[in-house]
Every structure is written in C-alpha cells, then in structure tokens.
Structure 1
Amino acid sequence: MKKYFLSLAVLSLFYTKSNACAWSDPDYEYFNLFTQSIIKDKSYLPFLHSYSTRFYSDFKPNQIPDENIDSWKKFFNNQLSYSETDYLVNKMNINDLNELKKGNPNNALLKKLGAGFYQKYREAIDYLIEAKYLEPYMKINYVESPDSFYYRENNTDKNATNLDYNKTISALTSLYNAAKNPEIKQRYGYQLVRFNHYTRNYDAAVQAFKTYVAPIRLKGAPYLMALDQLAGAQRGLGMNSEANWNFFQVFKDSKSRKESAFVSMKLSDTASFNNILKRAGTNDEKDMAYFLLGYEDFNNPIPTMEKMFEINPDSEILKVMAVRSINELERSYLPIYYYNNDDHNSTAQTNNSNKNSDQNKTQTAAEPKKELSFWQKIVRFFKNLFGGSKDKNSPEGKADQSDDELLDNPNRIPVFTQNNYYYDEKTKDFLDDLEKFTSKTKEKSKDEYWQIADAYLKFLKKDYKGSTEILEDIKTTNPEYLEEIKRMKVLNDIVSQPKIDAEYEDHLMKDYAEYFVDKPEPKKDSTETNEYDYYGEVPSTKDFLKDVLANRYFLQGEDGKSFLMNNKLSDLQYNPNSSLVKSVEDFYRKPNKTQFEQQIIAKNINDVGNIDAFFAVIYGDRAMRQADFEKAKSYYAKAQNFSGIPRTEWNYDEKKATPLQYAATSYNGFSNISDLVFGHNVWESYQSTPDESMEKEDYSAFPFIKPTMNKLELAEALIQLKKIGAGKDEKSATANQLIGNLLYNTSILGYYRELFVMDIDNTNGGKYDFWSTDKKNPYQYYYKNFLDRSYIEPDNFDLAINYYKKALDLSMSKEQKARVLFQMASAEQGKYYQYEAKNPSKVDYSDPKWSEKSDAYQKQLDQIKNQKYRTYFAMLKTQYAETETAKNLMGSCSYFSYFMK
C-alpha cells in the first residue's frame, strides 16, 4: 500500500499544476483504464509507455519468458518445471551440483531427481558447475577515465580479469572439444566469447564466436547469448554498424534480452537506423526496424505504424505501438485532476464554443448533434416560456436541465486537457487519426485486441453506444481481454448516463458494487518493498468512476454529493463557503438515502464532533463577516457543543495522526477569544504575540466586553454595541469604532483573521490570499481539487468602513478621529488589494517588451490606487497631521510615513 505523508497545508501547494516538483510522478497522474499489459507477447512489457522511467516497469519480472530457461527445460526432457529449472540453473549452489556429481545429493530437488540424473545429463551438469564457477567473475573491469566527473572508490568486486586468462581459455577450450552434445558445446563457446569480451580481448572474442559458436548450426538461446557478447566486443572495436546489427538480431529473437539489447544499440542518429533498415531482409526484420524508429521518435507514430501495418497487420509489436499511443491519449483525456480554464489554462474545454471550436469538434466528432423532434421543440418552447429565466449555473437551474442539456454539457468528463508534460498541439487531432488506423487494422487482424482498442477510442470520443456495440460483438477467451471488456462496458454504462438519480444509484449498487465498495487491504509481506511507495496508490478504475459521479452531481446542481465523493466533511473547514456548506448539510439531513448514498457518499461524513454544531459555527462565522450579529447569535446558540475545529496532530508514541486536543485556554474555533479583537494593531506582525501586535481601546464604558469570550458572547457584545452605536454621543462613537475594529481585525488583513474562517491561528495559507475570480463558484468540473484554491466569500471592507464613518461623524476628539481615519484607510487598502487581484497583468513573459509593459501596468495600478483607494490617508494627512496619533503612526507604519512625506 503506497502512502502519502503530506499535511493538508502542504498538499494544497501540489494541487496546482506544477509537475516539475520533486514529488511529481507523471505515471501517477492519469487513470490507466486501458491496461497496457494486455498485449499477448509479454517480452515487450518494458516497451510500454512510461514517463517515470526509461522503460515500463509496472509488471513482475517473471512475466517475461526466459528462452534460456525454456531451452534447459527442454534439454532435461521437461522432467523439471519452469521454476525448478530456473532454480537449478540460476540459484542452486555449486556445492550442491558437486555433491550430485559425487553421487551423494543433499539438495531436496536433486534428491528427488536421484543420483541417476547426473549419469543421464553428465555433460549438462558439468557445464553448469563450470558456469557457476565463472559467473561471479563475469563482469567487465571498470577503467576510470582521467576526465571522469564522478569519483569512485576502489571497487573490490570480482571481475573477469581476476581469473588467470590463459588457464581459463585453456580449460574452456578443452571442455568445448570434449563435449559431444552440440547445445552444450555451443554453451562453452558462449563462455569463451563472454570471457574474452569481459577481459577486453575484443578481437579474440570475435574470433571465438566464429570458431566455437557459429559453426554449430543452432540458433537457440546459447546462440543469442553469444551473439549479444559478440556485439559488445564489436562495440569495443568501434565496429558500430556490425554491433548494432547483432544487437538488433538479439532484440528481435530474444524474449528476455530485449531491453538490454535495445540499450546496447546506438540509434541516436538517422544513419544508424537507416543502416539497420537497409540490411533488413525479411518482413520480420523490417517490422522490427520500424518499431525501433517509432519507439524512439514518438511525436507522431501513425506514419510508422502505417508502414508496419503494410508489412504485417497481425504484428505483435504493432499492438505495442498502438497501446503506447492510447496511453498517451489517456494522459490528456483522463487526468487525475481536471483544472479550471480560467485559473490554469490547462483544459481545452470552455463554455464558449467559439473559442475552442476545433477542440469541441475533436471531442464530439463521434456524437453528432441530435435533431430535436417537432414535439420536443414544442415542449422546450413552452418550458422556456413559462419556466422563467433560471440561471443555469444556480442549483435550481442545474437541477432543471433535460437529459439532452446534461449530455451536451462540454464539462462532462472525460474531456480533453493539456495535462501531460509533452503536450503538443497535434495531440488534439491524434485521437481521430488513431481511431481511423485502429478501425482499419481491426478489419485485417485476427486479434481481438484491435476491436477492444477501437471500442476504447470511441469511449474517449464519447461515442458510448458505438463503443458498447463493438464490445458486445467481441468473441474471445483471453482472460486479460475479457477483464478489459468487462471494465469498458461498465465505463460506457456509467459515463453515458444522462442523470444520476436514485434509480440509477440502485443500479450501481446492484450491478457494479465492486467498483465502489472498499475492499479490505490485503496483508503485505513484511519483506515487500516498492521504491515508488512515496507517490501513493496508482489511480484506479474505482477512482475514475468516483470522479465521473462527482462531476455528474456537480453538473446536476447536487454540490453536496459532488463534494463528498472526493472529500471528507471535515475538509469544509479549509474553505467554508456558505452555499457549498448548505448543500452538504442538506445531503447530511436528507431522509431515506439510497444504499449508494449511505455506503459510498455518506461514509465521508467523518468525525467533526457534534455535526450540528460544526455547521452552526460555519454559518455563524459567515453571518459575523457580513456584520449580521443577530443571525450569528442564533447560529452560535446552536454551537455550544462544538468540540473544536477537527484538526489532527502527529502522535509519536502511536506513530499515527490523532485528533488535536485543545488546551483549556486555547482558541478552538469557538471559545477563548481575547478582548484584543476589539483593539487596534500597534504594528503588522502576525507572528508576534497578541500583546505585542495589538493594543486595547478603552472598554470601561462597555462592561459586557469580557477579557475572554466565546463566539456566542462575542455576538451578544456586538449586538449591544450596535444598539449603543445608534445614539449620538461620544459613547456611540466609540461603540461604532469598536465594531469597525472587530470587522477589520477579523478580515483577511487583521491580526485575528482566523476567527471567522474556521482556522486555529493566523499563520499564512490559501485562506489569506486575494484570489482572483469573477465566479461565485470557481470550480468547473467537481470539488476534487478542493484545497487547490480559496473558496471563501470575500470580505466586505465597506462594512467596517461604514461603522468607522459613524464613529468619525459622532466623535468630538481629533485624536480619536485620527485613529479612526487610519483604520478606515487600512480597510480601504483591502479594497485595493481585491481590485488588484481581479485585474492581474496580462503581459506575457515571452513578450520582448515584457519589462516595459509590466512597468507601465504597475504605473497604471499606482495611479488607480492613489485616485480611488487613498481617500482616508489623504484626509488624515491634510486634516490631522499634527495629532499625536498621526505622529505615532508615522513611527510605527512605514507606509504611512512614506505617504505623509
């Protein structure tokens, strides 16, 4: 099981599209729904598509057949199983074989075979004894170059030069000459070629191949092993063309040595490839040569695949090229996150079809626009006539959509995105080209693979009916094909459903429960390790379907269900947006939930303490930020059982995260709020203690302001201040000033900015950024990347300013007026920051005049700031510059000092 160890705060940083970070692995960033490894010839598994490693590695090594073990198994007349043969050849100790030779076998396998096994296969056992003696030395000696960048300490590992060259050559030659069996004879020849290669006697290695290997007319495993060593020796002699050709032969004919042979080939230039293609005499050689070209140059493999098709449409390696192409497409159509267009410019879909007409055409090429019947047009006319003009983005508008409107929504996933590192503009058209090729090939090839591939491409193009029809017609007994077909049928069914209603949810639980219900984790072998555990679990079909349903609920206006498909209830604390919270609460309180809602969605309503209190605090906080103190009080009265914002902390004793235990005097989201919240900041430092950053006003006239309060008491105090502020005297002025202070101090700029956004302290984070969005809901597809951005209603600084204005009008003290004006100016600064965030620079970094244009834009911003957002600083400067308050502010506020000068 792969684990994440990132906190939510840190995790939010990686939800942005920043794939270059050290924690990113592109092979974990899409849903591998079309299983690459269903190719029949498993020797090509390393050549499937991967960005994380040079070769694909998500398979068990024993899946690739080893022709050497097969050869030995056949040599022993299939008396041993494959695993027993592998053990005998590769793992058994040399001493065990010597004991067998003496007639006293101690090894369990050799005992089972009996002493007569040696008599029957004397030459083979003698060869294995010699091979096991040589094996520890069969490495080439590393020679450090004077210009080497890396320092290597003296390596004490054995290598071929540790053996006496003349004695070893003499012994192997004698054994070769004595051997009667041609295969065993050729194996000794292989050892002679290998030993000379690893001792850098390259000419001798080439000669040994000609003398001891080639004359024996066998082209099995020993020959390929020797040919591999010959090619290495030729590379050492600078015979690159010959070496490439022989490595190519090993690559073509060997099952287990394809990856190493490919690495050994030097095909970095066109000439090297052309040399191989010129020498290719058979169709198999030409087919393989084109595969190498297509594998190395993967920008557009279709032309190469066309050449391979002309040679052999049943070619197994043509399927490898196709599955790599499909995998590349999946990365653009099935990313693990769909980002919003306006924020990340990473999706090709927008609601404005004119902007992306070509891409929309690509996506919907297989699903032509349905012509409405005459009756449907009449129904739609009267529906529009009498149904009013509901906002299609509102929950009511979304819920009122017809099946056709839901199916036509361009944001129904899967959609095309620019989600991978190597995105190319041509990728948008690649799906059409690959579908044409696959459709053509399935008519010529006898392998059902091409029908499955064609069905899958239609699935990506949203032609779910056409995809399902192809799947229904496939006749196969291949278990991997059958599993892929089964999964694709499920995908087509779910993704093509216009609306997910209660009836369909029952269908999901009845027929597809295995794709949604969590299974118990299998016990893991304590010795099992995986170098990629750091990245977490590989995205699965189950995860994709959860995303699809989250997307469907979102498009239907069921935001609460959409949210809970990908998030926990406790996650609302990070972005307590009122409308979303209300939708989640509505689902929580929904009676008669379907089985799907109970088991799949409601399970994410996790422990937040008293759930009613949790919701009440969020609503009360929002009311406070709107200065609706009476409403806030009514909610807080229902929140007195609130046990604290549901945070976790790492428990070193238990070695796991446990619920945070708040101290009796700590702020927990509801209790222990200092009366400094009504004060003003001495200097702007969120990291300093409250007594260092904040200073109290004179509360003596307001005894109901307690030194420490909970939110209910705070709301009650504000209600009383509001009543007093309705008067016309100095006390009323101070009451309005205190209300203004609280609203400013709990805004995004205030020292107590955490109080009404479900946070436990004022340390920095996404909640305290001036995000730019013109949308009430910044999410476009679903809430999966919920922590990606702030989703909190912005502060209304005018609320604080309006209370300050009342204080300014009522106060008779110039000092108090100066203090109030400074607070008003600070709130006005917040309004400017909001304006600036909504109007970012549109100058492109690639613009040659980027610096000049950016400076001009900044100058324009400064002009707007001074003209529209410096009203109260100007009044303070022109009317109250001589006050002690203004003089003190010049010493503590550098910006005010700069403005005054």
Structure 2
Amino acid sequence: MKKYLLSLAVISLFYTKSEACAWSDPDYEYFNLFTQSIIKDKSYLPFLHSYSTRFYTDFKPSMIPDENIDSWKRYFNNQLSYAQTEYLVNKMNINDLNALKKGSPTNQLLITLGPGFYQKYSEGIDYLIEAKYLEPYMKINYIESGDSFYYREPATTGKNATNLDYNKTVSALTSLYNAAKNPEIKQRYGYQLVRFNHYTRNYDAAVKAFKTYVEPLRLKGAPYIMALDQLAGAQRGLGMNTEANWNFFQVFRDSKSRKESAFVSMKLSDTASFNNILKRAATNDDKNMAYFLLGYEDFNNPIPVMEKMFEINPDSEILKVMAVRSINELERSYLPIYYYTDDNSNAVQKNTTDKSRKQDITETAEPKKEELSFWQKIVRFFKNLFSSKKDKSSTDGKADQSDDELLDNPDRIPVFTKNNYWYDDKTKDFLDDLEEFTSKTKEKSKDEYWQIADAYLKFLKKDYKASTEILENIKTSNPEYLEEIKRMKVLNDIVSQPKIDADYEDHLMKDYAEYFTEKPEVKKDSTETDEYDYYGEVPSTADFLKDVLANRYFLQGEDGKSFLMNNKLSDLQYNPNSSLVKSVEDFYRKSDKTQFEQQIIAKNINDVGNIEAFFAVIYGDRAMRQADFEKAKSYYTKAQDFTGIPRSEWNYDEKKVASLKYPAEAYNGFSNISDYVFGHNVWESYQSSPEESMKKEDYSAFPFIKPSMNKLELAETLIQLKKIGSGKDEKSAAANQLIGNLLYNTSILGYYRQLFVMDIDNTNGGKYDFQSTERQNPYQYYYKNFLNRTYIEPDNFDLAINYYKKALNISANKEQKARILFQMASAEQGKYYQYEAKNPSKINYSDPKWSEKSDAYQKQLDQIKNQKYRTYFALLKSQYSDTETAKGLMGSCSYFGYFMK
C-alpha cells in the first residue's frame, strides 16, 4: 500500500491512459498477478518495477536483511534475536547502555541479559556508547550548490559533524581504535574515523584513515562495507569519480541493506558510463552485477543484457530481477484495470461487420490458434454447414456461440492494449522474446522461479493448457512460490473456461469462494496507517477474476450479469440504455439464480426505492424520446411508486453519506415537471431559471395542460395533443407545435434535456455528449468503467421536425409559421452536430501543414452545414424575414442574425 504523496504524480499521467484524475498512480492501474517480490534475495526488492517512485516500495523495510545487524548478532554469539539486536544497536537509548556499564541497568532487555553481559561484551558495548554519542552529528554540513549529489534529509536536530571538536574527536577515536582488542570492533572505530573526516569535508584525511585504520585489518564484513561507502563519498569530494564509482559498485555488490543508496550514489555522482565498472570487473559475479546495472538503466530492451547474464550464470538472482521487471512491464499492457479502445473515448460498435471489426481492434492480440486435425476440420465444416447463421453481435447470436467461437473471440481478456505511453509495435513481440528466453533459462537453472515465470507468460499468451502442465510439474517447498503457483492454477482454470454456465458458477463457489466472497475488514496496525493514503487498495487477483467473469458474461450476451459484476443497479441511472436495462431487469427477475448469482452478482442490486418503478421510469423515458406516448403511459402507470432518482448526499447530522431526500416541490425524475416544457427558449442559458430562459406558448386552447405534472400526466397530455393534432385547423397546428417543442426541449439541445435521461438537472455530463451518443454500444469488453462512458441512445431530431412540419403545413398564421421554422432549424442544427461528431478531424497535430489542413477541413464542414443542415434557416430567411418573429429572433439569436446577414 502506497502511503505517501507522489512527487511524480503529474508526470505519471503520461505513462498510461488513465482517467482524468489529478492524482493518478500508474502502479495502481494494472493487476499485479505475478508477484514481483517472490525473488529469494530480498535485498533487490527496491529494484523491482515501479512507475510511481524511483524505487519499488511495496514491501516492509524489515524484509531486507541488514548485514550490520547480522554482524552484531554474531558478535553477541547469537545470544540475542535479530529483532533484539536491531533494537540494541539502532534504537536503545545511550543512557540505558551507560547504566548497564555502571552495573545498574534499567532497560528490561538488559536486565534479562544479566549482569555478566557487559563484562563479556564490554568492547562492543563501549563502542555502541561512543557510536550513539556521535550519531546525531553524523551529517555533512550541507552546501546547496557544491554538494548537490548529497541527499539532504529533513532537518531534525540541526546538528552536523562540524559541531564536534575536530581534533578532540579524532584523538578520541584513534585512542579507542588502538585500545580495542577485537579486530571487528577496531575496524568499527576505523569506520567512524573515515565517516567523521568525510562529513567534515576532510576528504584527504578520510582516504588516509581508510588506508590506515580499515584496510590493514583485512576484514571484509559489515564494518568494511560501511567504511568503503564513506571512502567512496570522500573520493567523490576529491573529484576521483572513477574510483568513487568502483567503490560504490563494491558496496552495491556486497551489501544487502545499502544497495539502493549505493546505486543512487553511482547515478547522481557521475554521468560516466558503467562501462568503466565492467572493465574493472575481474570475476564473473562482478561482470554479472555490472550487466545488471546496465540492463536496469537501459530498460527499453533488456533481453540482450539478460542473454549476457545468462551466459555468465543462469542461476543468478539478479537475472530473476531483470526477468520479473520485464514480466511486470508486460502485465501493464495485458492486465490494465480498464480496457480501452483505440482512442480511449470513441468506442467500437458491437454490430459492425466482421471485416470492419477486425480493423477496429488492431491493438488487440490475437489468441493463439489451435491447430486442427483433418478430422476436426471435417467435423467443423459440417457443423457450420447445417447450423443456422445468426448475428454473433446480437444477444441471441452471442448465446448460441460454440466453445470454439467463445475461445477464439479476440476480446477475451487478458488481451494486449497500448497501455504504455511509450508503446511501440515491438512491445507485443517482446512477450515472444521473453518467453523464449525464460523457456531456455528454466532448462539450465535449478530455481523453480523460471518454471513459474514460463507458466505465467504462457498464461498471458492464452496457452492455458501448457501453463497448467508446467505448474503441475513444479516441485518446490518455497512458500512464496507455492502461493504464486496456487493463484496461477486458479487463473488458468477460470480464464480457460469457454462459457460460464450454472455448473461452472457452482464450481466457483465450491472451490474458489475465497476470491469472490467479501472478507471482513482487517483493522490495520497503527504502524501501517498514514494520512497520505490516496489510492485505496492495489488491484488484486479477486478484482481481476471479477473482471474476467464480467467480460465472459459480456461476450456470452449476458449483459445484465456483466454489468452487475462491476456496477450497482443504481448506476443505470447515469446511462439508461434500453437494451442494457432490459438485460439487468431479466437477471433481477430470474427465479432460479445460482448461489454465485445470488451472493456475488445480485448483491449489487442496491436500493433504488421501488425497483419495479425504477425500471418502468427508464422504459417510459425511452418511449417518450421515441415519441411513443402510449407506450410511455403504460410504463409510467407502473411507476407511480417511484421515490426519486437514487442519488446520495452528505448527512451532516449522521455524518455519513445517505440517500437524497427530494423536497416535495422538487423534480425527482418523475414528478414536478413545469408546463414550460411545452414552451420555447428565449435565450440559451441552461443555468438560468425557467422564467428567464423559457417562454410559454398560448395554452388557452388546451386547459388539460397543468402548470405542474408528473410523467404519467405528461404522457396523457401528449396523447391528447396528438389526437387534436390529427385535425386540420389552427388548434391542430398548435397541438403539433407543442409536441414538437416538448421533443426539442427534452433533447440534448433543450433546456429540459434532463427529463428523459434519468437526470435531475440540465448541467453538462456524458449524456450530453454528441460524440458518444451516436454509438450503439461503447463497450468492447465489459461495463467496468460504466460511469465514465456514454451509453444512451441518441436523440432522433426528425421526430420533433416531423411534428413541426405538421404544424407548419396546417397553420395559416405567418408569424406562427416563422416561429415553427425557427424551431425546426434549431432541431436541424442538432442533426448537424451529430454528423460533425461522427466525422471528427483526423489530421495529426504533428503534420507540418496542420493549420492549413484544419482550415480546409472546417471549410468543408461549413459547406456541408450550409448545403444540408440549413434548410429551415434558408426558408425562414427567404419567405419570412419580414415577420416580427424573424426580426425579434435576429436580436435574440446571434447566430440567426449572422445567417440573415
């Protein structure tokens, strides 16, 4: 769990196709199915793959062993545990050690160790007392410009090494060094001399101290590594960059706890290539380590470096680190938490032809094709010959798919996506290259890791049979390996299943319930909590399996189940597409739900008030948008118990989110609709009040139009208007005009555009997106990001225009005709907007003639607009420009005024 603010949060937005979020963390945008941290040597954990931070951080620091604590533990003859030793060395107060030395310990650990502990280890205890005295001062006196390679820690005490008396401190440490009998303790005093001179910027003295007090002892343990680290820092201060880099390299190689800092020192202190280190590498281990640093730094194509490391030692632990980083990079393209289409906003229609569909999904990796025997080909031929052909994109067509057709569907996740900002066409090929390398390495290495990695890569390639066979044959006692193998077997089982039916759902609940059932929330330890927890839980295996099943249901035509795997029933309000709503309703009404359906899917049928009324309002709204007022009435009759569109608000009294309680007079999705809905807009301002934006028509001939109506009453009113509109008099003309007004006013362009799309006001949102509403289904995989996509049938502006035409043909009032023509022109403008959204500019910004081509494209659009979508404006100008209505419109509608001129 990340517990900090990201310093690269803004930059991270460029890494992935993330949602519009100011704090986006790319390490939370894919499923971590292959656990990076299963490497055996935990000292390399910081070098696992991460986009969010410079080094990988999703592990407890205690997982990395500290050679200094191990050294002290051995010094105390293993009388203390590792934790006790770490406490004694790093955390115990200096006063406690002085009390021990005086024979009157007060610390419980020291009391337990007994009175003889100091006598036995007096040299070590005396050293720790001196070290704890020096520690608060052991920081360099930071100089902003001159020491940019030093890490400046937040100031706590304000102390640094120059606060100590230089001569007195050197003399004391030298005296203690000479008096010490134990070589390791002696070397520790030597380390303190090197460090003190380094931090007081006496770089020459630090180098001399290393050669005088550390090197002659010929010990290469923890004190030597610590001193070598300080020597390299002093050499950096002297400008001896090549020597400093080599010594930092040795620290990186030999230390377990200092690898990250040594790597930073190499990186920040010198821009020279690691080739100098490679030249000095005398042993295979040194060369292997140098290649690792090179490969880690140049990660665009790690395979060539991994090949060199393989030749040196196929059992190398750092070779596994390179491999796991490569696998993690692949995961980001194959297992993103959202699967997008090409442009991340425009969607692929599911009813396109096979040919166009293949073109639309070029970014998706084709599954591995099964080689059929001659007999299998014959069987498939006759099977296809006598089968009835159905549209595979339709619900019935999806339901009738064979196992082969389901398995061959290119949209079965995991699939390859361009999820990386630095994507290139070679990225897909990298899976093949890495699989080839891993397969070769598993034959040479004795570590089962390579078998697990090979099985996982085959999983990504959808070769589940081969993956499972490898996993079944792995013999290991490593608990982390066993956990990964167990998880991968579950993945292979579920992902390879052709169709998720009732029997398989029973299998899921019987054998894999732990991945699907809710677990009680575990209270975190106080040491694991932090106020900067912005991202929630890292996507888990359970989350991935839920997405897999949602995707499978989607491909099988069970859209309702697919939707409810990732969404709540109440979420339908935001994009009430009729076909999806019908599928969700069918599942809701299903009487023989399996245990899986009841416990895992149906739990997302949350509180929407009266569920029957909720569905009825959605269907009634769609009928109204289609101008089928009789059908709308039949649905609204069933919706009279509708309690309001299910929205939430903050309850200040109870201090929690609660269901929105609509005021009695407020529009709630069903009631309190003003008769302004039959009027026309005076000016286009969605934020203004109805009285400011709208003007009522003359309703005197229609007394049944109430000032305030619910949707049932509105539908009944429209039915009466429609009946009257079938006549041939001025009243009929007015009735048709009112119907046209309502259809326009409730369209995407109208002041009351919220009425029939399950919204509570006319503010902007996805429902009012011309570009998306033209698409029948913006989902290629499943409904996980449902709230971020528009999935609602587009307006049919011809319905309003047709009613206006009836009014125009009947009316004899020239002023009224002018008003009707303007309304028709406004509806026609909506048709143009839909055309424009379906034909966006495809000119690349990098094109040197972008401006010129864009201007030409806009001129082409303007020409099409004037030729095909200005019919009624032209008629209004040519025949009615002398009317008071037209003159008034020129003053209130700037665009019409421009057109008239």
Q: By the TM > 0.5 criterion, same fold?
A: yes
Q: Deviations over 1:359-417 (max 9, x none)?
A: 77x65457546766255235423433xx2x32111000111110001111111110011
User: 2: CA distance between counterparts of 1:573 and 1:893?
Assistant: 34
Partner of 1:444: 444
User: 2: CA distance between counterparts of 1:256 and 1:637?
Assistant: 72
Q: Deviations over 1:801-860 (max 9, x none)?
A: 111111111112111111111111100100111111111111111111111111111111
Task: Specify the SS of the correspondent of 2:657.
Answer: strand
Partner of 1:328: 329
Q: Deviations over 1:588-636 (max 9, x none)?
A: 0011100010111111111111100000000000000000000000000
C-alpha contact (below 8 Å) 1:649/1:660 kept by paired residues: yes
Partner of 1:383: 386
C-alpha contact (below 8 Å) 1:266/1:272 kept by paired residues: no
Partner of 2:891: 891
Could you tell me which amino acid in structure 2 is paired with residue 247 of structure 1? F
Partner of 2:613: 613
C-alpha contact (below 8 Å) 2:177/2:186 kept by paired residues: yes
Partner of 2:521: 521
Q: How many angstroms does 1:708 deviate by? A: 0.4
1:426-825 aligned within 5 A:
426-526=426-526, 528-530=528-530, 533-772=533-772, 775-825=775-825
Q: Deviations over 1:220-255 (max 9, x none)?
A: 000000000000000000000000000000000101
Q: 1:328–1:530: structure 2 CA closer, same or farther, 3 Å change rule?
A: farther
C-alpha contact (below 8 Å) 2:726/2:732 kept by paired residues: yes
Could you tell me which amino acid in structure 1 is paired with residue 662 of structure 2? Y
C-alpha contact (below 8 Å) 1:464/1:496 kept by paired residues: yes
C-alpha contact (below 8 Å) 1:569/1:608 kept by paired residues: yes
Determine if the alignment matches structure 1 residue 373 to structure 2 residue 376. Answer: yes
Structure 2 residue ranges without an equivalent (≥5): 4-12
Q: How many angstroms does 1:420 deviate by? A: 1.9
Q: How many angstroms does 1:787 deviate by? A: 2.1
Q: How many angstroms does 1:30 deviate by? A: 0.6
C-alpha contact (below 8 Å) 2:650/2:658 kept by paired residues: yes
C-alpha contact (below 8 Å) 1:620/1:635 kept by paired residues: yes
Partner of 2:59: 59
User: 2: CA distance between counterparts of 1:258 and 1:169?
Assistant: 29
Q: How many angstroms does 1:879 deviate by? A: 1.1
Partner of 1:235: 236
Q: Deviations over 1:542-564 (max 9, x none)?
A: 11111111111111000001111
Task: Specify the SS of the correspondent of 1:317.
Answer: helix
Q: How many angstroms does 1:269 deviate by? A: 8.0
Q: 1:778–1:862: structure 2 CA closer, same or farther, 3 Å change rule?
A: same
Q: 1:381–1:130: structure 2 CA closer, same or farther, 3 Å change rule?
A: closer
Q: How many angstroms does 1:769 deviate by? A: 1.2
User: 1: CA distance between counterparts of 2:420 and 2:558?
Assistant: 30
Q: Deviations over 1:700-728 (max 9, x none)?
A: 11111100000000000000001111111
User: 2: CA distance between counterparts of 1:354 and 1:666?
Assistant: 49
Partner of 1:77: 77
Partner of 1:211: 212
C-alpha contact (below 8 Å) 1:367/1:462 kept by paired residues: no
Partner of 2:826: 826
Partner of 2:7: none
User: 2: CA distance between counterparts of 1:622 and 1:15?
Assistant: 40
Q: How many angstroms does 1:881 deviate by? A: 1.0
Could you tell me which amino acid in structure 1 is paired with residue 727 of structure 2? G
Partner of 2:407: 407
Partner of 1:6: none
Partner of 2:299: 298
C-alpha contact (below 8 Å) 1:366/1:463 kept by paired residues: no
User: 1: CA distance between counterparts of 2:450 and 2:758?
Assistant: 54
User: 2: CA distance between counterparts of 1:16 and 1:754?
Assistant: 33
Q: How many angstroms does 1:882 deviate by? A: 1.3
Task: Specify the SS of the correspondent of 2:658.
Answer: strand
Partner of 2:10: none
Q: How many angstroms does 1:691 deviate by? A: 0.5
Q: Deviations over 1:438-475 (max 9, x none)?
A: 00110111000000000000000110000000000000
Task: Specify the SS of the correspondent of 1:649.
Answer: strand
Partner of 1:10: none
C-alpha contact (below 8 Å) 2:729/2:811 kept by paired residues: yes
Q: Deviations over 1:13-40 (max 9, x none)?
A: 9999346853211101110100000000
Of all paired residues, the percent bearing the same amino acid is 85
1:842-853 aligned within 5 A:
842-853=842-853
Partner of 2:9: none
Q: 1:848–1:135: structure 2 CA closer, same or farther, 3 Å change rule?
A: same
Q: How many angstroms does 1:534 deviate by? A: 0.8
C-alpha contact (below 8 Å) 1:367/1:463 kept by paired residues: no
User: 2: CA distance between counterparts of 1:20 and 1:235?
Assistant: 44
C-alpha contact (below 8 Å) 2:27/2:52 kept by paired residues: yes
Task: Specify the SS of the correspondent of 1:266.
Answer: helix
Q: How many angstroms does 1:729 deviate by? A: 0.9
Q: 1:320–1:117: structure 2 CA closer, same or farther, 3 Å change rule?
A: same
Task: Specify the SS of the correspondent of 2:518.
Answer: coil
What RMSD over aligned residues (CA atoms) do the two structures have, in Å? 2.5
Could you tell me which amino acid in structure 2 is paired with residue 567 of structure 1? N
TM-score (norm 2): 0.95
Partner of 1:273: 274
Q: Deviations over 1:864-895 (max 9, x none)?
A: 11111111111111111111111111111000
C-alpha contact (below 8 Å) 2:815/2:885 kept by paired residues: yes
Q: Deviations over 1:626-649 (max 9, x none)?
A: 000000000000001101000111
Partner of 1:179: 180
Partner of 1:89: 89
Task: Specify the SS of the correspondent of 1:117.
Answer: helix
C-alpha contact (below 8 Å) 2:346/2:772 kept by paired residues: no
C-alpha contact (below 8 Å) 1:140/1:160 kept by paired residues: yes
Task: Specify the SS of the correspondent of 1:245.
Answer: helix
Q: How many residues align?
A: 888
Q: How many angstroms does 1:207 deviate by? A: 0.3
Task: Specify the SS of the correspondent of 1:215.
Answer: helix
Task: Specify the SS of the correspondent of 1:771.
Answer: helix
Task: Specify the SS of the correspondent of 1:762.
Answer: coil
Q: 1:627–1:656: structure 2 CA closer, same or farther, 3 Å change rule?
A: same
User: 1: CA distance between counterparts of 2:225 and 2:28?
Assistant: 36
Partner of 2:6: none
Q: 1:368–1:855: structure 2 CA closer, same or farther, 3 Å change rule?
A: farther
Q: 1:894–1:416: structure 2 CA closer, same or farther, 3 Å change rule?
A: same
User: 2: CA distance between counterparts of 1:262 and 1:146?
Assistant: 21
Q: Deviations over 1:144-181 (max 9, x none)?
A: 34999x99999961000000000000000000000000
Partner of 2:121: 121
Q: 1:504–1:14: structure 2 CA closer, same or farther, 3 Å change rule?
A: farther
User: 1: CA distance between counterparts of 2:66 and 2:491?
Assistant: 36
**Greater Cα shift, 320-329 or 156-165:** 156-165
Q: 1:209–1:437: structure 2 CA closer, same or farther, 3 Å change rule?
A: same
User: 2: CA distance between counterparts of 1:334 and 1:126?
Assistant: 56
Could you tell me which amino acid in structure 2 is paired with residue 173 of structure 1? T
Q: 1:320–1:135: structure 2 CA closer, same or farther, 3 Å change rule?
A: same
User: 1: CA distance between counterparts of 2:532 and 2:89?
Assistant: 31
Partner of 1:142: 142
Determine if the alignment matches structure 1 residue 282 to structure 2 residue 283. Answer: yes
User: 1: CA distance between counterparts of 2:129 and 2:118?
Assistant: 12
